Chain A
Amino acid sequence: MAVPRTLQAIERRFLPADLRERLRDLSIADPGHGYDSFGLHADWVSAAAGLFTPLYERWFRVTSHGVENVPQQGGAVLAANHSGTIPIDAMMIWNDVLRHTSPPRVTRVVMDHFVNLLPAISILFGRCGAVGGSRGNFHELLERGELVGVFPEGLPAIGKPWSERYQLCEWREGHAEMAIRHGVPIVPIAVIGSEEQLPTLTRIESIKLFGLPYLPIPATPIPLPVHYHLWYGEPIPTHLDYSPTQADDGAVVREAAARVKASVQALIKRGLAEREGVFR
């Protein structure tokens, strides 16, 4: 399916010329028809980068700190805090990494399964490199040396109450296990701004559309123009500190995941302390 004309028009209108030029260097493991095995396509990446540009540059005015910590090549796991009712945090990280890596790298964001049940959204996200949250996909991508973006708090985090913003929910451990198994580092990321973008008013537990555990009711009809700050921490050298055989040791994996959580929490603390305000 070619990129829809509307998206092409948005790309022409908003995608900065220098980024368009750099995206020509985008490398995809294409076995012959322009798509990788997961459905990633270079034209869709350009179109999505154009689509996200007004949000990235004007609405959320994303400021990036320490993005040089993202490896320019080879596999790595990017682990971030998660919130905001809709996954704008994932889109901003995806866009930020694309803009700050040379040649540009696509973050393969791991989504909850229900996203693949959403008509059209599943195509857009899939063509931009996102994948369903199965161990098999995670495993495959790291084996190919890709950047895999995860939110270890998972789906429960997107409906965090206002009073719990920037407090990390239960931190899952699968990302640490995969990083150890594949000998890749983990880059902790704190997303500042996202947890205030769309406060949840209430949630309707009885409505479970497309596999969502509940229907969140936001307090505002559109996301607030909060100032996003993306803080990338120093990579946790899981590839040096552990051997792949330790991926089967639950205690080691728990310890590695706790290190990632502590790093993200420290980055959040720093990010909140250094920002001038929610909207500034």
Chain B
Amino acid sequence: MSRRVLVTGATTPLGVRFVQDLLADEQVGHVLALGVEDTPEGLPSSPKLTYAQSDLRRARHIRRLLGGPVAEHGIDTIVHTALHRSANDEGGSIHRLNVESTRLLLRLAAAAPQIKHFVYRSDAAVYRVRVSAPQVLREDHPLEHSPDAPQWVRDRVEADVVACTHMGLVDLRVMVLRCAEVFAPRMGSQLTDWVRARVSLRPVGFDPMVNLLSLGDASAALRAAVHSDAQAVINVPGADTLPLSALAQRHGRSCVTVPGPLMGPLYRLRTRRRSADFRYDLNAHRFHFSMVLDGRRAVDILGYRPSQRLSWPHP
């Protein structure tokens, strides 16, 4: 049966790629792309595509959206990918976009009889990474509930939990995709910003493994979720698993080791001087301990296997 899909965050690099892939999919009848911008930059023109401008931080915009274009276009699947990307922004407005919009979208979608599927794009950052944690994380791994975690993490955890708590309780099939870090510019990728600096720093004596997801694979996983009738939390690993030092090297960057306690102050200084996005407090644990997502459930339920490697400037 052909799906009619609403995509939030459609003007991000992932949103654009995903909309393009949906338009090329014969089993998708219509795409309603949602962005905060007036004009949908980067989105192709197609009779199958409608662009709607909406600010998800405002509840009345979401209500108008669900009562208006979503109903008019007979949308049956919502793919919610909108998340605030900059790690340095904090506050109520960011929380409304990251968490409250998810809560309201779910509530309204559950009340709309034609909407049957809700796919939430979550993030591997929701997992708690500590020295005692396994290196390959399954979906039942504890989440990062530390009150000391930055809002960037807390919001993602809360939104993920909000989506999970709707599973089985409403007449809506909810799927949560915990994606590995999408390694691309303008995606809020911390490691993309980390390798943007001429010299990438890591704590002396530590070189953990990281797993990175390409836009193509992230889009493929979302597309598989759109066509699935399952209700589950699913990890979405990427095709590239490598140590931090190798990541810097593949980008032609020097990876300099510094004592751990200096990492935070040095990166705060960089953020102040260069308005960089990388925050060491956000990454301190995974700069010491490996974290790779287990992808077995994605294979079993979605038939998704990471296949699209990142392109490296210095392979």
- Is there contact, CB below 8 Å, between A33 and B290? no
Partner of A123, one of B131, B141, B206: B206
- Is there contact, CB below 8 Å, between A123 and B136? no
**CB-nearest residue of chain A to B255:** A1
Looking at chain B's contact residues, the main secondary structure is: loop
Known contacts: A33-B246, A35-B209, A122-B206. The answer to whether A136 contacts B241 by CB under 8 A is no
- Is there contact, CB below 8 Å, between A31 and B134? no
- Is there contact, CB below 8 Å, between B241 and A35? yes
Contacts of B242 in A (CB 8 A): 33, 35
Interface positions of A from 71 to 117, Cβ below 8 Å from B? 113-114, 116-117
Whether a CB of chain A sits under 8 angstroms from the CB of B196 is no
Interface positions of B from 101 to 155, Cβ below 8 Å from A? 131-138, 141
- Is there contact, CB below 8 Å, between B243 and A135? no
Known contacts: A35-B241, A37-B292. The answer to whether A134 contacts B133 by CB under 8 A is yes
Contacts of B294 in A (CB 8 A): 140
The interface on chain B, measured as residues whose beta carbon lies within 8 A of the other chain's beta carbons, has a size of: 31
- Is there contact, CB below 8 Å, between A38 and B245? no
Whether a CB of chain B sits under 8 angstroms from the CB of A118 is yes
Contacts of B207 in A (CB 8 A): 1, 39, 123
Known contacts: A37-B209, A38-B209, A39-B290. The answer to whether A136 contacts B240 by CB under 8 A is no
Interface positions of B from 259 to 297, Cβ below 8 Å from A? 288-290, 292, 294
Whether a CB of chain A sits under 8 angstroms from the CB of B92 is no
Known contacts: A33-B242, A35-B241. The answer to whether A135 contacts B205 by CB under 8 A is no
Partner of A35, one of B133, B204, B243, B289: B243
Query: Could you tell me the distance between the alpha carbons of A113 and B208 in the complex, rounded to whole angstroms?
Result: 15
Known contacts: A37-B209, A123-B207. The answer to whether A132 contacts B132 by CB under 8 A is yes
Show the binding face of A for B, using Cβ within 8 Å: 1, 31-33, 35, 37-39, 113-114, 116-123, 126, 131-132, 134-137, 139-140, 211
Subset of 25 A-B contacts with CB under 8 Å:
A31-B240, A33-B240, A33-B241, A37-B135, A37-B136, A37-B209, A37-B292, A39-B207, A39-B208, A39-B209, A113-B131, A116-B131, A116-B288, A116-B289, A122-B205, A122-B206, A123-B207, A134-B134, A136-B135, A136-B141, A137-B134, A137-B135, A139-B134, A140-B135, A140-B136
